[in-house]
Amino acid sequence: QPTMLHWLSPLLTTIPVRAEQAGPKHVIMTVIDDLGYDDLGFRNEGQILTPQFNRLHSQGIDLSSYYVQPSCSPTRAAILTGRKPLHTGINFWLPNIAAGLSLNEVTLAQVLNRRNFTSHAVGKWHLGFHKTPYTPTFRGFSSFYGYYEGSEDYYTHVTSGGFDFHDERAPFCGPGCTQRPWHLQGQYSTNLFTARAVEIISQHNLSSRLFLYLAYQGVHAPRQAPAAYVEPYKKGIADPVRRTFAGMISALDEGIGNVTAALAARGMFADTLIVVTTDNGGPTTECSTTGQSNWPFRG
């Protein structure tokens, strides 16, 4: 069985595998919004229960000197271009204005597509939407299921006074193609994004490779989690803020378990590189906190 590297930097360029194998066939890039250094079970001595993340961590590589930008859009631009903010021009999180990742930039999805990958994006975009060409399906992704802005309500999917949820099932999916799934109001976004990721994996044509950019909304503000995920922490975590936050993490952990189970069911797991990263660590001066911890670091 090939060596599996599940916990890798998106900047990694060489992968040790068997001599007869050119590399992993599939890539799952998982971005957890505003995750702090001390927020997964393998770091916080099990305060927050994350058996799925713990399993991937134990089987993979933990990059202890891996750094991200201090806010979300600069890191996302760097992940999807391989270029620093100095070059992308995305130096700060993008507010609701006419701005976005330059159309001159070539994205990771566009590069991988030339190498027999099919690319899909799920979750948070936050790299521009003021003009249709800035949206995901015009940047190399064959589908997009998620929201364009930087944050929104986990249940109503409303931000800045408007409904921001888009279901786009084809490349270059602009006006007349993009759908607004109003019927999803009331459903928790973490679970919706996991379900879409599982659907993509289950329906993937194995004649091509899969690149899935899975950019969860969790654990960005607002602090929201279904009661079923918070209940297990009722006795173990006294702080109600951290307790609800733990529920948000548990929903993500369940999601990662469902994604890896879907990969295994298709026989893809052993041939998949799974990357897990935060975008900017637990917020301190940028955005807003939902209960994160960056201990033992100060930032």
How confident is the prediction along the chain (299 residues), in pLDDT tens digits per residue? 332 333 443 333 333 434 445 678 999 999 999 999 999 999 999 999 999 999 999 999 999 888 899 899 999 999 999 999 999 999 999 888 889 999 999 999 999 999 999 999 999 999 999 999 999 999 999 999 999 999 999 999 999 999 999 999 999 999 999 999 999 999 999 999 999 999 999 999 999 999 999 999 999 999 999 999 999 999 999 999 999 999 999 999 999 999 999 999 999 999 999 999 999 999 876 667 899 999 988 76
Element (H, E) at 245: helix 240-265
**3-state class (DSSP) for residue 228:** helix
**3-state class (DSSP) for residue 257:** helix
**pLDDT at 299 (0 to 100):** 66
Element (H, E) at 111: helix 108-113
Distance CA 197, CA 212 (A): 8
Measured CA distances, 245 to 132, 133, 242, 249, 281 (Å): 34, 35, 5, 6, 14
Q: Where are the beta strands (DSSP E) in 133-235?
A: 143-147, 158-159, 162-163, 166-168, 209-215
**pLDDT at 284 (0 to 100):** 72
Q: Are 92 and 134 in contact (CB under 8 A)?
A: no
**pLDDT at 3 (0 to 100):** 29
**pLDDT at 98 (0 to 100):** 85
- Full-model pTM: 0.92
Between helix 240-265 and helix 189-203 the angle, nearest 10°, is 10
Catalytic-labelled residue, pool 72, 204, 220, 287: 72
Q: Are 2 and 17 in contact (CB under 8 A)?
A: yes
Catalytic-labelled residue, pool 6, 57, 126, 166: 126
Q: Is 72 a catalytic residue?
A: yes
